[in-house]
A = this chain, B = another copy of it.
Amino acid sequence: MAEGKGLIQEKKNYHHGNLKGQLLEAVRHLVETKGADEFSIAEACRLAGVSTAAPYKHFKDRHEILRGVVFLGMLRMRERMQEAADAHAAGTVARVAALGQSYIDFARAEPGLFRMMFSLTAGHQDDEELSRMGDETLGIVVGVVADHLAIPLESEEAKLRAYALWCFVHGHSFLMLDDKLHGEKMVDEGQLLLIVGEGMLPRV
């Protein structure tokens, strides 16, 4: 009854039931705990309680498995960002700040996955689905910025300033994960967001 069936559960029957999902979860877990370079599909198989050949009934190859993990990650991230934007009224500074913060929070909460989301898609702009998802996510930022500045969604100005903001939070997220700011070099994140927000989104 009270047997613990944690995130990673044992297989009971010959047929696993949900190997595909379980494998993606196992890989995500390993990426987070051991790092993206220190795990193997074989290890994920052991976690899922399945032979090392089993994954290839569900996925073409290793890359397709990682792509699946990244896809789910992008979905979740977009969700969080949309929630952050929806939680505040259009045009408020708080809305922009919350959006940026949600991005940074995601990176901090799931550094391994975050890193993989971007390193994997490198040189794979041919992947329609992932590309579209990235575009949609950027779209959230453009929308919030356009609202804030009260300019059209399609304006070059909105696109430019939204991208600048994205560059900023993206860069900060990676530098933070890479621990480039340690000791006395540390910087206050609140102050940082403030200064950037003011600089990038000037009230006319």
Contacts and interface: CB of A to CB of B under 8 A. Distances in A.
Copies, count: 2
Contacts of A3: none
A164 B189 CA distance: 10
Interface of A: 35, 111, 115, 118-119, 121-123, 125, 131, 134-135, 138, 159-161, 163-164, 166-175, 177-182, 185, 187-188, 191-192, 195-196, 198-200, 202
A159 B174 contact: no
Q: Which 10 A-B pairs have the closest CB atoms?
A: A171-B171, A199-B199, A167-B171, A170-B171, A125-B179, A167-B172, A122-B178, A167-B168, A199-B200, A163-B187
Contact of A166 (B121, B175, B182, B191): B175
Nearest to A197: B199
Contacts of A200: 195-196, 199
Nearest to A35: B123
Contacts of A170: 167, 170-171, 174-175
A135 to B, nearest CB: 7
Given A125-B179, A160-B191, A167-B169, 17 more contacts: A35-B123, A118-B174, A118-B178, A121-B178, A121-B179, A135-B185, A159-B187, A160-B188, A164-B199, A167-B192, A168-B168, A169-B171, A171-B173, A196-B199, A196-B200, A199-B200, A199-B202
